Structure 1
Amino acid sequence: MQFMSSWTTNDKRTLLHFSTATLETFCQHIQNNDTDCEAGGLLLGSVHGTHMLIEQATAPTALDKRFPYLFERMLFGHEAIAMSRWVMSQGTVRYLGEWHTHPEDHPHPSVLDRSEWNRLSAKRQDKRLMLAAIVGRKSLYVELVPSSGRGSVLDPIE
């Protein structure tokens, strides 16, 4: 599977780039079979004005709750990686959002996804929109999520 690495909002004011390592993490967790469990983690990277470079997607940990149609990220593990990256980068690599898989070719957020994204976006200390990505079997769904309602869906750049 080859996902596009560069994405933009409709107005082209926000660009984001997924690193090769991030895309590899996504590909390692695609739910190719109906019995495969959802996976997910954090999106870590740097902010450049309105643009973002996603450098890392944390992989699921043994403590995360994983089922074919549900992923619940537990605090322990992911936050330790995020804090370590923050400290080592002197504050340039930060939490940008969340990712998880769906057992469908072209994923779309569920009602549960939306409510969780809005809750997480509202908790952001830097007040930035939260980046949310869903990894499907054939494509990604990428959105910048506000603390309430729907956000800006991003499209891949060819």
Structure 2
Amino acid sequence: MNNNEITFKDEYGNLVVIMTDVVQLFKKYQQLLPTTPESAGVLIGERRGRHIVITDISIPGKGDSCSRYQVDRKGEHHQKKVDEAFIKSNKTKHYLGEWHTHPEKYPIPSSLDYNSWSKIDASNGNIVFIIVGQENMWLSTKTKSSFNLFNEVTLE
């Protein structure tokens, strides 16, 4: 993964931009060693028309349950981070979705991932889902009940 922002594009021209600070955090949590547990958090940022800009994320912390092949984001700090970003940005930054890692080079969602995501309400706009792998990142948005896959980006 490079040190710059990353832009994803779908077949309709919709963009999801991941800012540099977020890319750096994703790099920190990649499961590159056999002992590294899965990590997860929420995505925070702005909707700019039909485009999405991810400016921050929450990271694993107290209350979360992490193992090599599973993560359960239970900590209250995730919601607190969203609330603080909303207030500090004068209501321009919001919850945008979820991220987590997989211990595989080219991550793909599991049935557990899809089951969990299907419970998230996307009636107020696209929800972004990111899986950070060892060499690649998977990204999709969900609108109501359908998923829209974005182009993959190779991590350096």
* Closer, same or farther: CA 33–79 of 1 in aligned 2, 3 Å: same
Residue 127 (1) aligns with residue 121 (2): no
TM-score, normalization: structure 1?
A: 0.90
Q: Distance in 2 between matches of 1:146 and 1:15?
A: 15
CA contact (8 A) 1:132 1:144 kept: yes
Residue 144 of structure 1 corresponds to: 141
Q: Distance in 2 between matches of 1:78 and 1:50?
A: 25
Q: How far has the Cα of 1:145 moved from its partner? A: 1.6
Q: Please list, as runs of the form range in 1=range in 2, the aligned pairs for 1:54-133 lying within 5 A after superposition.
A: 54-120=54-120, 122=121, 124=122, 127-133=124-130
Q: Distance in 1 between matches of 2:153 and 2:73?
A: 29
Q: How far has the Cα of 1:58 moved from its partner? A: 1.2
Residue 27 of structure 2 corresponds to: 27
Residue 43 of structure 1 corresponds to: 43
The count of corresponding residues between Structure 1 and Structure 2 is 153
CA contact (8 A) 1:16 1:53 kept: yes
* Structure 1 gap ranges (5+): none
Q: Distance in 1 between matches of 2:65 and 2:38?
A: 9
> 69-78 vs 100-109, which deviates more?
69-78
TM-score, normalization: structure 2?
A: 0.91
* Closer, same or farther: CA 58–136 of 1 in aligned 2, 3 Å: same
Q: AA paired with 1:155?
A: N
Partner SS for 2:76: helix
**More contact order relative to length (CA 8 Å, sep ≥ 6):** 1
The list of structure 1 runs, each at least 4 consecutive aligned residues, that deviate by more than 4 angstroms after superposition, is none
Q: Distance in 1 between matches of 2:51 and 2:36?
A: 33
CA contact (8 A) 2:137 2:153 kept: no
